[in-house]
Structure 1
Amino acid sequence: MNEYRLVVCEKPSVARSIAAVLGAGKRGDGFLSGGGYLVSWCFGHLAELSDADAYDEKYGKWRREDLPILPESWQYTVARDKQKQMNTLRALMHRDDVYEVVNACDAGREGELIFRTAYNLNNCRKRVKRLWISSMEDAAILQGFDNLRDGAEYDNLYASALCRSKADWLVGINATRLFSVMYHRTLNVGRVVSPTLALLVQREAEINAFQPETFYTVHLDFNGFSAAGGRMKEQAEAERLAGDCNCKTAAVTSVVQTEKTEKAPALYDLTTLQRDANRLLGYTAQQTLDYLQSLYEKKLCTYPRTDSRYLTDDMEGGVNALALCCAGICGTEPPAAVCSGQVCSSKKVSDHHAVVPTMAAGETDLETLPAGEREILRLVSRQVLMAVSAPFVCLETEARLACGGNTFAAKGKTILNMGWRAYTEKGKQDNTTLPELSEGQSLPVSSCAVKEGRTTPPKHFTEDTLLSAMETAGKEDMPETAERRGLGTPATRAAVIEKLVATGFAERRKAKKAVRLVPTEAGVSLITVLPEQLQ
């Protein structure tokens, strides 16, 4: 009798790619077979934690006296449109000729939960191996199957995913019912959604409470450069100073030159890519994740849901080829010297290394890709080129001048080495070089001007800045030894933002070039009534 390994993937498209590499080309009903493998799939989560009324019919009505609802034994529900595939997996898992099951769901916390739920609900007891890969390239898949890991190594990852799932259920079910009953309208409360909404509401309150203040600065023009004084509250005082300095002479009291070095940025993790894609391309976090996921499944990009910004040490030898590939994708030249070591650090890599293009991407006709995928691939490639480049080096000059009894400052910058900034939009900015100045030098003031300014309120959140706030939320309140993950994970933050918009608690408002995220009246009302612990 032939024996088979059963490979369970997260979705059909991934299953087809893996089956093609393994030689499992024969089609069955809900699976593929061949080469000693059976390859099947889930449709994301085949089973979800059951609603409250599955535990007791009385929970079909929302009543305060029934709270809290705390299941003693957790139940799962399989959606009607997914039941057939769950039955297929059950039949495959219990086949006598299947000796081992390979978990080939996405190599992350959620993928672990998807597989284990199906495995456990189908009462499978066969040995489990784990496929853990960061690329869907054929070579990566083959290497992954040559190095399958014991499924038990990921028990803690599964426990983490299960804990997160149950915590979401407990907070969502109980808090939503409590506050909806208290305020006689549906108020959806979530473990991550509500604190994220609270960030938006707090920022809106800060903006509304802000009182702008007018200030004045005096600017002195010299031959070829200008110097500015400090802020003044009274216009009359600024006008008097301008009058005292007009057509007078200013004395240079100090000239300080400092060489500044800016290290190249790290490679992209998912959140940093989503932030840049929002700021530079206007994509939402969800759009960026969708484009990246599609590139991953097309073997053009590595695993998207990563929180690491480095490659592993053993990848250092391939960085030169990667940079050349990325230069081709961007239609530019690679750095004269590729600094491979600065992007490789195994100590800084968790489950997956940073997001980078695959070598296959360099051989792909980019014009055949949808515009969104093409732009994301170029953005990821540009980040690689910046990350492996030399530092940006400039000479900053600050001169202080005395005139009319006040001090004025002039700043200049001379670029010494463009380095990684050669790949940025502002990379070719003109030097703001000051003329040669020396302490004690006297300079005639050619003209004076008083300029009016106003202090500005905090800025509305964009998806870029909200993602950053979610990533660092609670950082100051956590001990140094704690694992800091902020609100949500790189894989879930986009969905949290979309849920806030879909449920009517937040909305996107276009303002000039940016799209703001602002709370709706319903969102403000919800946070107003929630206790601080749920915010």
Structure 2
Amino acid sequence: MKLVICEKPSVGAAVAAALGVTGRKDGYIEGNGYLISWCIGHLVQLSEAAAYGEQYKKWSYDSLPILPQEWQYTVATDKGKQFKILKDLMHRADVSEVVNACDAGREGELIFRFVYHQAGCKKPFTRLWISSMENEAIRSGFDNLKDGREYDALYHSALCRAKADWLIGINATRLFSCLYGKTLNVGRVQTPTLKMLVDRDAAITGFQKETYYHVRLTLPGAEAASAKICAADEASRLKAACEASAAVCTSLVKEKKTIAPPKLFDLTSLQREANRIYGYTAKQTLDLAQALYEKKLLTYPRTDSAFLTDDMGETATGIIKVLCEKLSFMEGADFSPEIAKVLNSKKVSDHHAIIPT
């Protein structure tokens, strides 16, 4: 029996449907040699500072810094029931293998490993690594499960991120809150970002207008202009020199340029375009893309690649054909997409570009 652990109930339901597992139980689904359950996000997390000693329960300057020697972990208070279900399933005698089916990325790896270690599980585990929630992609992923230990470096990267957030967030927040007598939240990401906003706002507020000049030649069918000139007398001398002379066009160059279409979307470029066109924040775009991914309409959104793998040519051609049928202005058009330009396995790390399914 294989125990499959997903990140969310909705993903668990999709995996169960793809594998033909229908026996619904309390907190999991059973059948066809599988037990499919889920984490409900971060079930286990790094413990709060108070777990490391009574002296840390109260915020004080003298107790800083807080530097755990042995890190402790806590089950989220509102998710204890689901953790117990997962722990019991992991220790069931008929379970021989655990499958990590959390999101195929750094945080998904961390969510699974925290639960696996907190439950004291020692059974071998494999990794489901997919970029689409379509049934065919899920089944293909289960046919090609990876050894879970191949992703140890990804887990250690996520663990390092979590500990860095904890150390900076806990210590810096307490430090500045104690120094200034009110709660001041400090974070590894939010504080440097806020600094950039403050600096930019200060530059706008403190902007000083400066007078500058352009000398322009108004010509039949054209216009020529100088660069910015700060000194009025210098601009006047140039203007006088031009008025006393005749302008002669010595050469005319015409160029035909070809502009390449934009690359496929990675998460950052998708967030940028969604903000430009719809005004969405980065988080809104990610949340919407994640929801579409879970509804099997988009591929995995947390990607930094703008290319597809070399073996996805047929998939891309099929999707383009479907999309062209939906666009009225493409009706009857003689269009042969240059698929090769978006295929490059060397530029795909964990996940390929975001595309519709």
Q: Normalising to structure 1: TM-score of the pair?
A: 0.63
Q: CA deviation at 1:328?
A: 4.0
Among 122, 141, 144, which residue is 2:141 paired with? 144
Aligned identity (percent) is 57
Q: More relative contact order in 1 or in 2 (CA 8 Å, sep 6+)?
A: 1
Q: Which amino acid aligns with 1:206?
A: A
Q: CA deviation at 1:43?
A: 0.7
1:169 counterpart residue number: 166
Q: What is the CA–CA distance in structure 2 between the aligned matches of 1:292 and 1:328, rounded to whole Å?
A: 23
Among 66, 69, 72, which residue is 1:69 paired with? 66
SS of the residue corresponding to residue 32 of structure 1 reads strand
Distance verdict in 2 for CA 1:182–1:239, change over 3 Å: same
Q: Which amino acid aligns with 1:171?
A: I
2:348 counterpart residue number: 349
Once the two structures are superposed, residues 441-465 of structure 1 have per-residue CA deviations (whole angstroms, 9 ceiling, x without a partner) of xxxxxxxxxxxxxxxxxxxxxxxxx
Among 103, 107, 121, which residue is 1:106 paired with? 103
Q: Map 1:38-437 onto structure 2 (within 5 A).
A: 38-233=35-230, 249-329=246-326, 331-333=328-330, 336-358=335-357
Distance verdict in 2 for CA 1:239–1:331, change over 3 Å: farther
Once the two structures are superposed, residues 491-535 of structure 1 have per-residue CA deviations (whole angstroms, 9 ceiling, x without a partner) of xxxxxxxxxxxxxxxxxxxxxxxxxxxxxxxxxxxxxxxxxxxxx
Q: What is the CA–CA distance in structure 2 between the aligned matches of 1:284 and 1:117, rounded to whole Å?
A: 30
Q: What is the CA–CA distance in structure 2 between the aligned matches of 1:241 and 1:75, rounded to whole Å?
A: 74
Pairwise CA RMSD: 2.2
Q: What is the CA–CA distance in structure 2 between the aligned matches of 1:112 and 1:180, rounded to whole Å?
A: 33
Q: What is the CA–CA distance in structure 2 between the aligned matches of 1:263 and 1:160, rounded to whole Å?
A: 36
Q: Which amino acid aligns with 1:267?
A: L
Q: What is the CA–CA distance in structure 2 between the aligned matches of 1:331 and 1:179, rounded to whole Å?
A: 59
Q: Map 1:445-524 onto structure 2 (within 5 A).
A: none
Q: What is the CA–CA distance in structure 1 between the aligned matches of 2:232 and 2:260, rounded to whole Å?
A: 42
Q: CA deviation at 1:259?
A: 4.5
Distance verdict in 2 for CA 1:328–1:196, change over 3 Å: farther
Once the two structures are superposed, residues 6-46 of structure 1 have per-residue CA deviations (whole angstroms, 9 ceiling, x without a partner) of 11000000000110111111110000111111110011000
Q: Which amino acid aligns with 2:191?
A: S
Q: What is the CA–CA distance in structure 2 between the aligned matches of 1:202 and 1:326, rounded to whole Å?
A: 44
Among 21, 24, 31, which residue is 2:21 paired with? 24
Q: What is the CA–CA distance in structure 1 between the aligned matches of 2:31 and 2:230, rounded to whole Å?
A: 80
SS of the residue corresponding to residue 29 of structure 2 reads strand
SS of the residue corresponding to residue 214 of structure 2 reads strand
Q: What is the CA–CA distance in structure 1 between the aligned matches of 2:164 and 2:237, rounded to whole Å?
A: 65
SS of the residue corresponding to residue 153 of structure 1 reads helix
Distance verdict in 2 for CA 1:332–1:350, change over 3 Å: farther
Distance verdict in 2 for CA 1:166–1:247, change over 3 Å: same
Q: What is the CA–CA distance in structure 1 between the aligned matches of 2:279 and 2:334, rounded to whole Å?
A: 28
Relative to its length, the structure with more strand (as a share) is: 1
Q: What is the CA–CA distance in structure 2 between the aligned matches of 1:178 and 1:80, rounded to whole Å?
A: 27
